[in-house]
Structure 1
């Protein structure tokens, strides 16, 4: 593990750049930008939507691009462009140009993250995929903690434009490091069709189960992350100080999530990591629903943080183990599109439920039910354990006799 530590640290920092800097820093700086008259609240809403659209579109397209373009070029190039566009956001004042930059940053985040599945297949031993992608997936937690701590200081010392410049330069420096550290993926290796283990194609029944899990996970569980603080403040009447502490603890625990869930996945299986991770998140949500208090809010934040960010990395880890290298990025790209679509849909549903009922409680009950559904689906997908025999998987529409064999396998 030590031999791949520099690569893991760098790839984790790339996720930090894409998600925390490229996608989630705008809401932090928006109040100052609005105060200066650069954008308005309607413009902010439109920019957030465009960023999400860019991310979803290139979650799908990025997977197929990784089959045509060296993943190193896609990943490192995307981080470099992210750095340039972050710096540009500090210089421009035209709302339309800002919107284009923000939308492109969403797309670049996807082309940074999705091709990593194929890169990990090439560069890291399969036995470490769970830990590796769990740690990398936790980059968002690290980045959120860093921006949350530094942006207010930078804004007080200079102004909001300097925050864009600082984090843009950080991304550019990491780009230069990546040119040296990130390995190339030979084109001929990208054409391999697997090693004879239990692998499945992008449109098999097994793949559809994974896509369904990702859609539900993105929807039912990301919505809890979105509305956790509003729920604690408005539904439970918890003070802003305690809710802020709970949110900070969620992020801090998220930093350890990748190691914890990834270690579990590598010792047992990624499939079991998915099951245990979603069980822990369901337990966290139920704790606050059944016994609402200041203590359970803090406990919920810690449990959810320890499970969420690492489990986020289990989906690409599973794909990296079970899909041939040529198809891995495109398969995960489709899954990531499902995950993002689920998040967008259920965030809207969660807000609507709050508006109609005056509470988030019903939405979080639905989240618990969704977690149970995900665990049930996880039990139906093929195991990625090395000591279990490989079994064939049938494409959609295959003969029932073949499907029967698949069902026996899972």
Structure 2
């Protein structure tokens, strides 16, 4: 589990801090930095676009760059920017730093997917990926501890400094883990025979063929569809939850307790759901996590006051390990480099689904004055995900693409 722990720490740094720490510290930062609502809206839009651009760029050209080197570069860049954030006071400079952090986070996860697909034990690949992806949940929890225990005494700058310190630790551990790995080889794609040509165990899909592969091949298409539907349902659920609870006249503390349950569930689910996927199949894992999310939403719609915590449990069970399960499933059918490319497109479809869901939520709130209809739609979407998980489970794994022999990484998994 060494690889899972190191890359999980990378997720704490890249996503937990690089993507989410700003939102956690924002109320305190605004006391000393004049950031307008328009600037906050711009930061939200630009960081989302940057995250998608990073994922798309990795999917298109990431196979031409050594992922081991790229993983170390993104961790170094993120760590430096986290330290820098403690010194920035100009909203324009803060926006630029956050935009770079968002792109670096998406690229970092793509490199993690490729490296785990290449070097981890295939029998535990999904467990390793799921544990790594759940590092974001640990980042949520650490952010909460920083706000409660550190920032009130040392100021908001201390939050960024501590995050940078954790980044240094992640960089050292990553370098120690990855220093013995050779740079990823670049492979070509035989379009006439529609077969992947392996070079040193790597299979790359040229950019001009990537979309065709996504549309034609079952595993790649369903992986992107799952991410789109998860983005459409999960992002509006989290973005509008507190407002919906307030709309129903429920105390703000209920939202806080719900997010605590989300974080704790996500921390634990990474290991358990990954093991379930490796031992019982990815279709079973998809069915379990999507069923938990759907049941939580169904109960929540009937009685938000009573079942908000159950909805949070279902969200944490589904959202954090989902990334590792999708990537692990794709890696069973494609080589490591192609898995990285397809995962990049999955991240783009997730962002598109989340954007569409949030826009729809805003429209329905404006048109009806309530979010009830939107949460009904989210529940239906969750049920569609359950149906998709059952379909994948009952139609089997399909034919996997065979990789070349890859030397194992000692103590990696």
TM-score (norm 2): 0.85
Q: Equivalents in 1 of 2:202, 2:312: separation in Å?
A: 43
Compare 221-230 and 183-192 and name the one that shifted more. 183-192
Quick check: 1:210–1:381 contact (8 Å CA) kept in 2?
Answer: no
- Report which stretch shifted further, 352-361 or 71-80: 352-361
Q: Give the one of 247, 250, 267 matched to 1:238.
A: 250
Q: Match for residue 252 of structure 1?
A: 264
| 1:383 Cα deviation after fit | 7.7
> Which residue number in structure 2 is paired with residue 227 of structure 1?
240
**RMSD of aligned alpha carbons:** 2.4
Kept in 1, the 8 Å contact 2:290–2:389? The answer is: no
- What is residue 327 of structure 2 aligned with on the other side? 316
Alignment check: 8 A CA contact 1:70 1:184 kept:
no
The count of aligned residue pairs is 379
Q: Indicate the SS of the match to 1:189.
A: coil
Give the alignment partner of residue 279 of structure 2, picking from 238, 255, 267.
267
1:84·1:168 contact (CA, 8 Å) conserved in 2? yes
| Stretches (4+) displaced over 6 A | 382-385
> 1:64, 1:329 within 8 Å by CA — same for their partners in 2?
no
Q: Aligned equivalents of 2:320 and 2:372: distance in 1?
A: 23
Contact 1:29/1:160 (<8 A) preserved: yes
Structure-2 residue corresponding to 1:217: 230
CA contact (8 A) 2:364 2:373 kept: yes
Distance in 2 between residues matched to 1:40 and 1:110, nearest whole Å: 27
Tell me the SS of whatever aligns to 1:91. coil
Whether the 8 Å CA contact 1:281–1:307 is kept in 2: the answer is yes
Residues 262-271 or 12-21, more deviating: 262-271
Q: What is the alpha-carbon distance in structure 2 between the residues aligned to residue 391 and residue 89 of structure 1? A: 44
Which of 353, 368, 376 is residue 364 of structure 2 equivalent to? 353
Residues 349, 104 of structure 1: alpha-carbon distance in 2 compared, 3 angstrom cutoff = same
Q: Look up the SS of the partner of 2:304 in the other structure.
A: coil
How far did 1:87 drift? 1.2
* In structure 1, distance between residues paired with 2:201 and 2:394: 24
Further displaced range: 205-214 or 169-178: 205-214
Match of 2:111 in 1: 115
Q: Is the 8 A contact 1:51 1:102 kept in 2?
A: yes
Structure-1 separation of matches of 2:395 and 2:80? 40
Partner of 1:167: 163
- 5+ residue gaps, structure 1: 195-199, 393-410
1:363 aligns with 374
C-alpha offsets along residues 190-226 of structure 1, whole Å, 9 cap, x if unaligned? 53489xxxxx944424122321221111111232122
For each residue in 1:212-255, what CA deviation from the matched residue of structure 2 results, as whole angstroms up to 9, or x when unmatched?
Answer: 221111111232122223222322x2222233122212211111
Match of 2:350 among 339, 356, 360: 339
CA gap 1:223/1:190 in 2 versus in 1, 3 angstroms: farther
**Aligned equivalents of 2:19, 2:78: Cα separation in 1:** 10
Q: Partner of 2:314 in structure 1?
A: 303
Distance in 2, matches of 1:80 and 1:383, equals 43
The match for 1:184 is 181
Question: How far, CA to CA, are the matches of 1:128 and 1:191 in structure 2?
Answer: 19
Match of 1:50 in 2: 46
Match of 1:94 in 2: 90
Once the two structures are superposed, what CA deviation does each residue of 1:250-296 show, in whole Å capped at 9, x if it has no partner? 211111111222122112111221122112101110011123333x2
For the residue of structure 1 that corresponds to 2:332, the secondary structure is helix
Moved more, 18-27 or 123-132: 123-132
- What secondary structure, in the 3-state scheme, does the structure 1 residue paired with 2:370 have? coil
Q: Distance in 2 between matches of 1:216 and 1:256?
A: 23
Aligned residue for 1:287?
Answer: 299
In 2: Cα distance, 1:383 partner to 1:258 partner: 24
Call closer, same or farther: CA 1:94–1:193 in 2, change over 3 Å. closer
Query: Which secondary structure does the structure 1 equivalent of 2:361 belong to?
Result: helix
Q: What residue number does 2:189 align with?
A: none
Take 2:38 and 2:165, find their aligned partners in 1: how far apart are those partners?
A: 29
- The answer (yes or no) to whether the contact 2:131–2:270 under 8 Å persists in 1 is yes
Match in the other structure for 1:150: 146
